[in-house]
Amino acid sequence: MSGYGCDRELMDEISQLEELDCFPNYILPDNMAYSLSEQQQLQPNTSTFLDVPVQYWTPQNCVEWAKAICYQHSLDKLSVDIGALSNTSGSHLMQLSMQDFCLMLGDYYGQLFYREFQTLTNAYNVGV
């Protein structure tokens, strides 16, 4: 038995299904800190924050983005103060420095989220 209560045979079957690309990888043990509905919302093609230009993000979009970053980096969403983003907007995030992100989220997560935000805005050619 593994730490997730699955025996080796079951894990082998899951691996085979993954190889066939018919088993959603978001329900595997490494993302168990998220409910199934949260995992589905965090999949890139269903996240509403991607449908809105960053400068028009609402606080809800900012929180969705933060949850997606946690999911992408396999972070426990409870270890990051996502609530710190619940009173901000995309246009405000665009004005923040790395130091501002670190003050808001702590040094490690602040740097990570700042880099991810820069990558996102650069990918969409948004003037930051």
Which is more confident, 15 or 58?
58
33-123 under CATH 2.60.120.40, yes or no:
no
Which is more confident, 48 or 85?
85
* Residue 4: band (very low, low, confident or very high) from pLDDT cuts 50, 70, 90: very low
CATH 1.10.150.50 domain position(s) in the chain: 33-123
Q: What is the DSSP string of the chain?
A: --TTS--HHHHHHHHHHHHTT-S-GGGSGGGTTS-HHHHHHTSTTT-GGGGS-GGG--HHHHHHHHHHHHHHTT--GGGS-GGGGTT--HHHHHH--HHHHHHHH-HHHHHHHHHHHHHHHHHTT---
Return the percentage of the chain with pLDDT > 90, whole number: 51
pLDDT beyond 70 at 22:
no
Q: What is the mean pLDDT of the chain?
A: 77
